[in-house]
Amino acid sequence: MLQTGTLLDGKYRVIREIGRGGMSVVYLAVNERAGKTWALKEVRKKVDGHDAIRAQSIAAEIGMLKKLRHPNLPDIVDVIDYGACYVIVMDYIEGKSLKQILEENGPQESRRVIAWAKQLCHVLHYLHSQDPPIIYRDMKPGNIILRPDGQLSLVDFGTAREYKRENREDTTWLGTRGYAAPEQFGGRRQTDRSTDIYALGATLYHLLTGRSPADTQFVIYPIGRFRPELSGSRLEKIIEKCCQPEPARRFRDCRELLSALAQVDENGAGKWLTKKRKRILLTGILAGLIGVAGAAGLPAYGARSVRNEYLSRISYAESADDFLEAADHYKQAIQLRPEAGMAYEKMLSDMTKDGEISQEEKGLMDEALNAVQQVDGKTVSNLMLFHRNHPKEYAAFVFCLGRDYYIFYPNGQRDANGYLKQITEDAFLPEETRRIAQSLVAITDYYVYAGSFAGDRDWAGANMQTMYSYHSLWTSLMTIISDSETADEQSGGPFFSLAVYREAATQITMNLQSILDAGITKNELEQALASARTYLSEHAGLRQSVSAQKLYEETENAVLNAEQEMKAYFHMN
């Protein structure tokens, strides 16, 4: 165990213990260099002989928290290997757990529980929307923190897992008895989205009745048994549906559950509003709150309402039938909170999920990024506000934006170059990712600076030949190809390496003579194409992915064309 006063990694000073569970201890610490408080989660490497499960749990929490960004989740900033344990450094979430609130105050008002349920639906939907989906598997009041601003934070990812479609059942049984769905312990099937919906229902049951499922022998009774005023209510029926033993009888996903909750009034009964009337009412309430907030200096309840509408707009976008409709909701969300990163990230993800970016889609993204706001009498763009308020998230987003324009937007090299040059020296971007960005800038520089020499076959003899020659371009491409595994890891998946192989093969087809004149040998070209063939073979499963299929086929065709060009050229010469 860590001791009060311990200094970790030369900067994190342990202040006191603030929580403990069966698998870990959490401490409050301060970064003495930056003066910021953090939570340190000490996770032992070996517990009671369950080393395999333990290692799996640690890897799951660290790996998943690193890539997740959501207002209701803590950010992980560091991982320290500390002898017999790992220490995970993450956001310190100030507040009380819902378990503490239940212990201090008993059953909660239905109005409050409904509002909490909607927040939890949003964060679970975010987790379930990852690729592959992340199943939390341990929803319960003790793992939910109510912050001073009224928002919830979901903590403790030790039992979470990524859903694997090929698996028929989980290899380990983890979760909290009573809140965990039957499939988490029965071994009949693997856990999926409906598993988290069961646990959310059990959590709502506890919050409304004051009784944990363990108090009622793990039976989820109708809540009207303990709260007569809710007997037969719509809220009672929602919880019953969440907690059905058979997964197929639960809500299909969190969007369906959220829709059901939207039809419940603050007393748990149904409110029979059409979808259109609900949106009109919500818009009217929001406008009134924003007006009051503006007049009163944005009090806390106004800020929370804007935040909730922001999340609602994102939820509407995720449920949209096409990107055009989704983009409208994303843009509205961004105008509400231009400094927040989620809507930008979701919009970019939506834009690329079909494997390409059209000119119309890029135009909609440009509108969202470049729309302006008046702040302190100055006109600033949404993207500037994002950068000013969250530079770390901004750097990660701009990297993804530049990368995706290079991969998915036809002739998007110049756009990629413009964005990536903004963050090649950004200290908020991890060093490995920064190197990928620098390599991609070196590749796309060719299109920016060599463009003016497009009509001159001997442009490489100009003054810029060293930096922007075919030799420089080829070297930059081979830097990525020589370690495609690292490139995939640091750039977010195999899409980037596929695009680089596509680029190299296309250059061979279009500019073979110039590449040879620049000193690249026939053997080097053949090795590059052989490497591309191997990579395509190893990643053949991408043919089945909607987002990767087009890129995979383009790369495969580019390699085939390059091979034919090589064969024809050297046959003739």
Q: Which residue has the higher pLDDT, 100 or 453?
A: 100
Picking from 398, 395, 397, 372, the residue whose alpha carbon sits closest to that of residue 385 is: 372
Q: Which residue has the higher pLDDT, 483 or 552?
A: 552
Picking from 215, 214, 237, the residue whose alpha carbon sits closest to that of residue 223 is: 237
Mean pLDDT lowest for which of 67-76, 253-262, 549-558? 67-76
- pLDDT bucket at 277, cuts 50 / 70 / 90: very low
Domain coordinates of the chain in residue numbers?
7-91, 96-261, 275-389, 450-572
What single DSSP character describes residue 105?
Answer: H
pLDDT at site 348 = 93
Phi-psi group of 2: left, alpha or beta (phi > 0 → left; psi -120 to 50 → alpha; rest → beta): beta
pLDDT 10s digits, 521-531 = 999 999 999 99
Report the C-alpha dihedral over residues 98, 104, 105, 110, rounded to 10 degrees: 10
pLDDT at site 461 = 45
- pLDDT bucket at 565, cuts 50 / 70 / 90: very high
CA 101/CA 68 separation, integer angstroms: 27
Say whether pLDDT at 360 is over 70: yes
pLDDT at site 554 = 92
CATH architecture assigned to 7-91: 2-Layer Sandwich (3.30)
Domain 96-261 part of CATH 3.10.300.10: no
9: Cβ contacts below 8 Å, ≥ 6 apart = 78, 80
CA angle 43, 44, 50 (to 5 degrees): 120
pLDDT 10s digits, 145-171 = 998 878 898 887 654 444 344 333 333
| Dihedral of alpha carbons 339, 336, 196, 224, sign | positive
pLDDT at site 531 = 92
- pLDDT bucket at 200, cuts 50 / 70 / 90: very high
Q: Which residue has the higher pLDDT, 567 or 462?
A: 567
Say whether pLDDT at 56 is over 50: yes
Say whether pLDDT at 50 is over 70: no
Tell me the pLDDT of the chain averaged across its residues: 80
Q: How many CB atoms lie within 10 A of CB 133?
A: 17
Mean pLDDT, rounded, for 281-285: 43
Burial of 3 (0-12, 13-18, 19+ CB in 10 A): exposed
Mean pLDDT, rounded, for 321-348: 90
- pLDDT bucket at 271, cuts 50 / 70 / 90: low
CA 137/CA 164 separation, integer angstroms: 14
Place of tokens 């809500």: 251
Q: Which residue has the higher pLDDT, 487 or 284?
A: 487
Alpha helices by DSSP H, listed for 17-139, are 51-67, 98-105, 110-128
Q: Do 520 and 470 contact (CB within 8 A), yes or no?
A: yes
Q: Do 202 and 179 contact (CB within 8 A), yes or no?
A: yes
Mean pLDDT, rounded, for 330-359: 91
pLDDT 10s digits, 91-121 = 888 888 999 999 999 999 999 999 999 999 9
Mean pLDDT, rounded, for 439-443: 88
Q: How many CB atoms lie within 10 A of CB 308?
A: 19
Instruction: Say if residue 391 is preceded by a cis peptide, omega within 30 of 0.
Output: no
- pLDDT bucket at 58, cuts 50 / 70 / 90: low
400: Cβ contacts below 8 Å, ≥ 6 apart = 345, 348, 492
- pLDDT bucket at 562, cuts 50 / 70 / 90: very high
pLDDT at site 178 = 65
CA 159/CA 52 separation, integer angstroms: 13
- pLDDT bucket at 71, cuts 50 / 70 / 90: confident
pLDDT at site 159 = 45
pLDDT at site 75 = 80
| Dihedral of alpha carbons 541, 544, 545, 549, sign | positive
CA 281/CA 284 separation, integer angstroms: 5
Mean pLDDT, rounded, for 21-34: 79
Say whether pLDDT at 251 is over 80: yes
Secondary-structure percent of the chain, ordered helix, strand, coil, rounded to 5: 60, 10, 30
What single DSSP character describes residue 337?
Answer: -
Q: Do 248 and 192 contact (CB within 8 A), yes or no?
A: no
pLDDT 10s digits, 287-297 = 444 443 444 44
Mean pLDDT, rounded, for 309-334: 86
Say whether pLDDT at 205 is over 90: yes
CA 364/CA 483 separation, integer angstroms: 35
